[in-house]
A and B are shown apart, each in its own frame.
Chain A
Amino acid sequence: MTNTDLVVLAVITAVVGLAVFKMVRDKKKGASGCSCSGCPVAGQCDSPVKK
């Protein structure tokens, strides 16, 4: 494996890792799994359903 390979692998790992980290963090916060934390109606989706 060349140095360039290592750098590219590190970049891919970092990008995918960050994406997964954000999804897991959103999920832990109780947000829906669709990563809609930036959605203008996320407040509705994230709240527990009340009847």
Chain B
Amino acid sequence: MKIALTGNPNSGKTTLFNAITGKIEHVGNWPGVTVEKKEGDVKQALLSGGESITVVDLPGAYSLSPYTSEESITKDFVVNESPDVIVNIVDAGNISRSLFFTTQLLELGVPVVVALNKSDLNEKKGTVIDTLLLSEALKCPVIETVATEGSNNGLASLMEAAVGVKGKKQSAPALRGSRKAETREEVEAVDKKRFALVSDIVDQVERRKINSSKQTTQDKVDRVVAHKWLGLPIFAAIIWVVFSVSQSWLGPVLADLFVGWIDAFYGVVEGAIGDNVNPVLSSLLLDGIIGGVGAVVGFLPLIMVLFFMLALLEDSGYMARVALIMDRFFKKIGLSGKSIIPMIVSTGCAIPGVMATRTIRNERQRRTTAMLAPFMPCGAKLPIIALFAGVFFNDNAWVGTSMYFLAIAMIIVSGLVIRMITGDKSVSYFIMELPEYRFPSLKRAAVSMFSRAKAFIIKAGTIILVCNAVVQLLQTFNWQFQVVAEDMPGTSILAALASPLAWVFIPLGFGLWQFAAAAITGFIAKENVVGTLAVTFSVTNFIDVEELALVGGGNEVMGVFGIGAVAALSYLVFNLFTPPCFAAIGAMNSEMESRKWIWGAIGFQLGTGYVLAFLVYQLGTLFTTGSIGSGFVPGLIAVGAMIVSVVYLIHKNNKTASEAVLKAA
């Protein structure tokens, strides 16, 4: 038996899907979290009979007339794949809007069960819905559910009702002309009748205590939090607190404890293999595999704390307000608040962030957002931020916060440049239903945190482990496959491969082959930057166990790296703004569907990273020492060439546009 879960965006479909299948798909308290269908089997505990049930969680839709591609996934599945039963999740707090879609589903003839979700919120507000009357009006079972609750959540009754209606004929409230409507006028006429029908049903079944014309506490909070001028500083302060707790206070303490275990494991293995082992094998196992992976995994607690706090923010409903705050700025660059959602998702991982762009209808906006979303510091970039903040900036929270806001600023600037290059002056308007604030669930945040931690560990144990082993081997041998002398690491294969690139980085302040090698391996997975630095500089522990903190300024690691704080900031910026990992580039390619756009995006990201790092290093050196940094002239020529290329593209586009206007005239 197959059940399709459908409903309006942010009605709680994925939360219900997770609750009935036991899966841990990502949920968020804003519309547009799900952009692709997902399948799972219903837990046996919820089934009274022996039948197994497969559930398909579909992206949210407001109607069966698709406006965005994820809505068409819903329509295609429901219409073409004929599920046995449709479970329509209706937000109990907003049935007047949800039932429009419900009445369309009823007309498909597939048995429908309505899950009146978030019913607990109605109890708190004093809103009463007569489910029996609603069931009669809709001609289908209506079950109250609270998908966020562990027990008494109505889910077993929902599954029972779904099994009960399987194979039965579904009738729908009479709505004349709905089946034959084809032209726009006909569809609009039917929609009007449908709205009237829904309004009638709501009047009959719903009794509200709250006067919607009165300002609620929520409205009062929004007046401050989503204020035109106050909204942005409040957002900055919140992000600063998140980075302070995760990178400066709680995170390092937990990380230190964790690194203590990694160190102990390193010691046990070192003791077990003894001194009589081949030094190449010994260093491959200890420094390459355990040291390299350990250096990355050591930052796991910091990342977990950060994800936990971001999950709390998501769950509270605040992040939807961020989209609203940013809409004002995004509109100026030809994007809209809708573009901020993929960017927020990208703070976890750029791949789903890029995929979330498919909710954007305008092609240029969708492609631009897919190009810019990877600028946000994703989970894989956090170890790099944490490492450099710890080594060079004394664990200061402003490093992470400023990277977050530098990313937003760069997105806005880049969006403007891309708009000028493409010449598309179209404007989009952003309409989003703001979810209600709620006290964030610690359980949901913990689940989100642990599932991301699991993903991080799997990645460290696979691709990062293999990369570090390869880096260690390439560093151990020269081109004649002889072991490189300990005091001559520059003669290794790795150094030979990375050195030509290191020249390019001299104007950016980090012209050492080790940094070049780390930047290259970072394209495979960004965590590799930390792993490769650990292997190439033979530093297996970036967290000081005795000091109970990340290694700080003046520490031996800083000396080993051989660069100053300004160059370190430049390297950090370079790694954050150059193209993301190959997997994310693949996702960008899928969403952009244009060779011109994907190569343009890679070139643009490379240019952005280079120009920013150049500015940070040269200006930073000028301010701190009074003179410009090394390699200024060649760097300026390279940066100048990039800027001229962008200006040429803008000019070329303007010329083409003018010619088109003249032709048309």
Contact = CB atoms under 8 A, between A and B. Distances in A.
Interface of A: 1-2, 4-5, 7-9, 11-12, 15-16, 19-20, 22-23, 32-45, 47, 49-51
B462 A12 contact: no
Interface in B563-616: 581-583, 586-587, 590-591, 593
Contacts of B273: 4, 7-8
Given A5-B277, A19-B466, 20 more contacts: A2-B278, A8-B273, A11-B285, A15-B289, A15-B465, A19-B461, A23-B466, A32-B586, A32-B587, A34-B582, A35-B459, A36-B349, A36-B455, A36-B459, A38-B455, A39-B349, A40-B451, A41-B351, A44-B351, A50-B36
Given A4-B274, A45-B587, A50-B73, A34 B581 contact: yes
B36 A47 contact: yes
Contact of B277 (A8, A19, A20, A51): A8
Contact of A12 (B37, B276, B289, B451): B289
18 contacts: A2-B278, A4-B274, A12-B281, A15-B289, A23-B462, A23-B463, A35-B462, A38-B457, A38-B458, A40-B451, A41-B25, A41-B352, A43-B36, A44-B35, A45-B352, A45-B355, A45-B587, A50-B69
Contacts of A32: 351, 583, 586-587
Nearest to B27: A40
Question: Which among B72, B358, B462 has the highest number of chain A CB atoms within 10 Å?
Answer: B462
A4 B271 CA distance: 12
B549 to A, nearest CB: 29
A43 B17 CA distance: 13
B550 interface: no
A40 B459 contact: no
A37 B587 CA distance: 16
Contact of A38 (B282, B451, B591): B451
B289 A40 contact: no
B53 interface: no
Nearest to A3: B276
B463 A12 contact: no
Given A38-B451, A41-B25, A50-B69, A2 B285 contact: no
Contact of A51 (B69, B345, B525): B69
Given A8-B277, A8-B282, A35-B462, A43 B25 contact: yes
Interface in B336-382: 345, 348-349, 351-352, 355, 358
A4 B278 CA distance: 8
Contact of B278 (A5, A43, A45): A5
A39 B274 CA distance: 38
Nearest to A37: B458
Contacts of A43: 25, 36, 38
Given A12-B289, A47-B37, A4 B277 contact: yes
A17 to B, nearest CB: 10
A16 B281 contact: no
B26 interface: yes
A48 to B, nearest CB: 9
Contacts of B284: 12
Contacts of B281: 5, 8-9, 12
Contacts of B345: 41
B119 interface: no
Q: Identify the interface centre among B72, B76, B289, B466: most chain A CB within 10 Å of its CB.
A: B466
B168 interface: no
B452 interface: yes
B354 to A, nearest CB: 10
A26 to B, nearest CB: 8
Contact of B583 (A9, A34, A38): A34
B24 interface: yes
B4 interface: no
Contact of B463 (A4, A11, A34, A39): A34
A37 B525 CA distance: 15
Contacts of A5: 277-278, 281
Contacts of A4: 273-274, 276-277
A37 B463 CA distance: 12
B125 interface: no
B536 interface: no
Contacts of A37: 455, 458
Interface string B4-40: 0000000000000000000011100000001111100
A34 B352 CA distance: 13
A34 B38 contact: no
Contacts of A15: 289, 465
Contact of A44 (B278, B352, B448): B352
A36 B469 contact: no
A39 B37 contact: no
Contacts of A33: 463, 582-583, 586
A8 B277 CA distance: 8
B455 A40 contact: yes
